[in-house]
Amino acid sequence: MALRLFWTRGYEATSTAELTSAMGISMPSLYAAFGDKKTLFRETVAHYQQNYAITLDAEREGATARDVVADLLHDAAMTYADPAKPPGCLIISATANCTQASDDLEAELRAHRDANIRALERLIHSDIRAGHLPPDTDAHALARFFGATIQGMAQQARDGATRDELLVIARTALSAWPA
């Protein structure tokens, strides 16, 4: 599975030889199917996004932003330290420390991360408008804080943190939610 390799080792540290042997196919088959390594990676990211990435469920009926963020943090803890999957998050760490040759991929994943934080910010804003949060709440700051927390949880998971430890981080972070 290409996903597991990119997930654990990142983009550049995963060689095409490892990919072909893990996928059980030969080198020309891989290039006939995907064109090049970058395209394979992009399709892997899309697959990850749809099947494994945590998402904030902004459409949940009757849920406040706090509820949604609580679920998001819970999902992050459960996913990032799932013993059956590689630790951490592909979108957060797969293009960390890459050469100029992969600057485009790094920018694409960064765009994903920024989009997630902006979605979080919109969610908080709508809760301010709905009166669930004080009108002077700094939505941008709050969104960035939880974005940073989730990225920190991903890094902690890669450093060996367990689900329980991540869940406690999530709970502590949530206590920073404005009254």
Partner DNA sequence: GCGTTTACGTAGTGGACGCTATAGAATGCT
Partner DNA sequence: AGCATTCTATAGCGTCCACTACGTAAACGC
Give the whole-angstrom CA distance, residue 108 versus residue 8.
Answer: 19
* Residues lying near DNA in the complex (CB under 7 A): 12, 14-17, 25-29, 31-32, 36-38
Q: Which residues contact 30 (CB under 8 A, 6 or more apart)?
A: 16, 19, 20, 23, 40
| Nearest CB to a copy of itself, comparing residues 46 and 148 | 148
Residue 159 binds which entry of a copy of itself, DNA, none, CB below 5-8 Å type-dependent: a copy of itself
State the number of CA atoms in the 13 A half-sphere of 160 facing the CB: 0
Amino acid of residue 65: A
Contact 59, 66 (CB under 8 A): no
| Nearest CB to a copy of itself, comparing residues 61 and 159 | 159
Q: Choose among 27, 23, 26: nearest CA to 4.
A: 23
| Nearest CB to a copy of itself, comparing residues 59 and 179 | 179
* Residues lying near a copy of itself in the complex (CB under 8 A): 9-13, 92-99, 110, 113-114, 138, 140-142, 144-145, 147-153, 155-156, 158-161, 165, 168-169, 172-173, 175-176
Residue 79 binds which entry of DNA, a copy of itself, none, CB below 5-8 Å type-dependent: none
